[in-house]
Amino acid sequence: MNQEERLFDIQDKIKSATLTSGRKEGDVELVAVSKTFPLEDILSFAHLGQVDFGENKVQEFVHKANEHHEMGGTPPISWHLIGHLQRNKAKELVGRVHLFHALDSLRLATALNHHLEDASQTLSCLIQVNVSGEESKFGMEPAELNQFMDSVLALPRLRVEGLMTLASPTENPEEVRPQFALLRTLSESVRDRLTFVSTPTLSMGMSSDFEVAIEEGATLVRVGSSLFGGRSYVSA
């Protein structure tokens, strides 16, 4: 398949899974995960109408966002930072990111709030939750979520719009269905406090498991290799 066929194929699968889960076409957003691929490849998708792109490393993201800006910023791109962020890089997000998916510590949240305050800006973000229980994964433990949410809501520059997770890597997406279901249950438990949005964002599902994630309530899926092709290094 060429690029256009791959995009249409994913859009089609998203649409079917959305309808299967009893929702309306357009209720699930596609973020094209462009990490390791050059801006040129991103722009080809942007010319096909894809607007949202996800990067997982700050430096790579800043480089591409600046390059896009210098080229005049068309076609428009909404950038998502989907990977772990070190506190000393927090400033790089200000004014550049449409949605930050990986809020995972109070120290990071406080640093972000501080830089946003200085620039009189706000930032939309999702709290990353570790639903797989793997120690290597970033994210809040489900049991810590409530308290973390209270602390973050006290930071006026952060707009918490929902939750994000990475399920365990698996060949069989059915195996991770319970992990997606858990994130959904957690989002329902904090829903009253997400006053910035009418429907909380649930960022879950990647190339191998996005259809199952949608069936379990994802409102946003992050698809990389099925659109851009295989990556030559394994990314965290």
Q: What single-letter amino acid sits at 90?
A: A
Binding residues for ligand PLP (CB under 6 A): 33, 35, 56, 82-83, 166, 206-208, 222-226, 235
Looking at the Cβ atoms of 145 and 223, the one nearer to ligand PLP is 223
Looking at the Cβ atoms of 157 and 206, the one nearer to ligand PLP is 206
Q: Output phi, psi for 21, to 5 deg.
A: -85, 15
Smallest distance, Å, CB 35 to ligand PLP?
Answer: 6
Smallest distance, Å, CB 136 to ligand PLP?
Answer: 13
Q: Output phi, psi for 176, to 5 deg.
A: -100, 5
**Is 139 strand, coil or helix?**
coil
Q: Does the CA dihedral 69-71-72-77 come out positive or negative? A: negative
Smallest distance, Å, CB 225 to ligand PLP?
Answer: 3
Looking at the Cβ atoms of 101 and 157, the one nearer to ligand PLP is 101
Quote the tokens at residue 172. 């069989």
Eight-state DSSP code of residue 120: T
Looking at the Cβ atoms of 157 and 222, the one nearer to ligand PLP is 222
Distance, CA of 146 to chain centre: 20
Smallest distance, Å, CB 235 to ligand PLP?
Answer: 5
Smallest distance, Å, CB 171 to ligand PLP?
Answer: 12
Looking at the Cβ atoms of 65 and 164, the one nearer to ligand PLP is 164
Of 201, 214, 179, give the one whose Cα is nearest residue 22.
214
